[in-house]
A = this chain, B = another copy of it.
Amino acid sequence: MISSTELARECGISQGTVDRALHNRPGVSPATRERVLRAARRHGYRPHPAARELLTGQSKMVGAILPTVNNIFFMDLFNEIGRALAAQGLRLQITPVENREAFLEALEDFAARRYRFVLTIPPEDNIAIPAQLASSLSILTFLSSCRGKGVHFLSPDEEQTGRDAVRYLHRKGHHRILHVTSSRRTYAIGARTRGCRAMAAELALKLHVLVDLNAESLVQALETDRPTAIFCHNDWLALQVLLLLSEKGVHVPEDISVLGVDNSPTLIALHPNLTTMAYPMAETVGAVEKIFAGKIISLQKERYKVIERATVRSFPGN
């Protein structure tokens, strides 16, 4: 990789002139410009981003931090955001982290590099962000928030999502619902279950909540409560449920219905029949773009939208 100074030496002119030529700025004779551009192309010249970042105090990079596990949907989301950012000349860099220490370390490094924004899925809930960090970096969190002022948590109203899911199944004629969720403590998990419970109470239908899914716990829940539908916290759990059911010889949707959440492109590609509630992807990408532009945006009013496919049946007369 050649530098603009070396380029200048090679062309027998000053570095300043090279710079003008490279940036298409006035004040260079056509002949000189052509000579510089040709030399630059020949050497595959690229300005050193570190030098530019040092000088301008700004980077074209946008950082992202993703836990090493449980990340398929967020990988999809970040891919989508990355696409939108690329259109603005920004580049998304994803760092996988295993635990809180690595998470904070990555944040520190991003801050030191003067990244303007960092998108994160914290590996744990409620991680405390040191004040120094929070003030020098705009942190956008998904899934679960962090402690620290200035950290922006971007999420739809998940209690509403739980309510919507139960109401949808109720409208389809289901009165006994199993809610499969996780024991992790994130905002989305807690709120969605609360929403489910609230709506189940309103509609006077039976709701059983199953945490920590496995073959035994699922069979037991099916036998105990005889649900006609399973609402899974996300598509990932829904697929797990589908695979477990198929091993037990239970047919979907004849014997039981399954509803997922996210409409994760990767997981739907795996099983295109899954009925699921689509995460407001486009709205999120739009919100991130607006936040980058300095606006304050919330997703609280955005709703997941049911995408009806083959894993939920409806009962006649409902």
Chain A residues near B (Cβ < 8 Å): 1, 43-44, 46-51, 53-54, 59, 68-69, 71-72, 75, 78-79, 82-83, 86, 91-96, 98, 102, 106, 108-109, 111-114, 130, 132-133, 136, 236, 239-240, 242-243, 245-247, 249, 251-252, 265-266, 269-271, 273
Contact = CB atoms under 8 A, between A and B. Distances in A.
B54 A51 contact: yes
Given A50-B114, A236-B270, 16 more contacts: A1-B114, A1-B136, A43-B132, A49-B109, A49-B113, A50-B51, A68-B79, A72-B266, A82-B95, A91-B95, A91-B109, A94-B94, A240-B270, A242-B246, A246-B246, A247-B252
Nearest to A242: B243
A270 B243 contact: yes
9 interchain residue pairs of minimum CB distance: A246-B246, A44-B132, A46-B112, A50-B50, A68-B79, A94-B94, A93-B93, A50-B53, A50-B54
A92 B91 contact: no
Contacts of A242: 243, 246
Given A78-B96, A93-B93, A111 B239 contact: no
Tally of this chain's copies:
2
A47 B102 contact: no
A31 B132 CA distance: 25
A271 B78 CA distance: 25
Nearest to A132: B44
A109 B92 CA distance: 12
The dominant DSSP class at the A interface is: helix
A1 to B, nearest CB: 5
A246 B256 CA distance: 14
A109 B1 CA distance: 11
Contact of A240 (B49, B246, B271): B271
A21 to B, nearest CB: 18
B96 A94 contact: yes
Contacts of A111: 1, 46
A243 B83 CA distance: 31
Given A50-B54, A54-B54, A68-B79, A271 B243 contact: yes
B96 A44 contact: no
A96 B79 contact: yes
Nearest to A54: B50
15 contacts: A44-B108, A44-B130, A44-B132, A46-B108, A48-B113, A50-B114, A68-B79, A75-B75, A75-B96, A91-B95, A93-B94, A240-B271, A243-B243, A243-B271, A246-B246
A246 B245 CA distance: 9
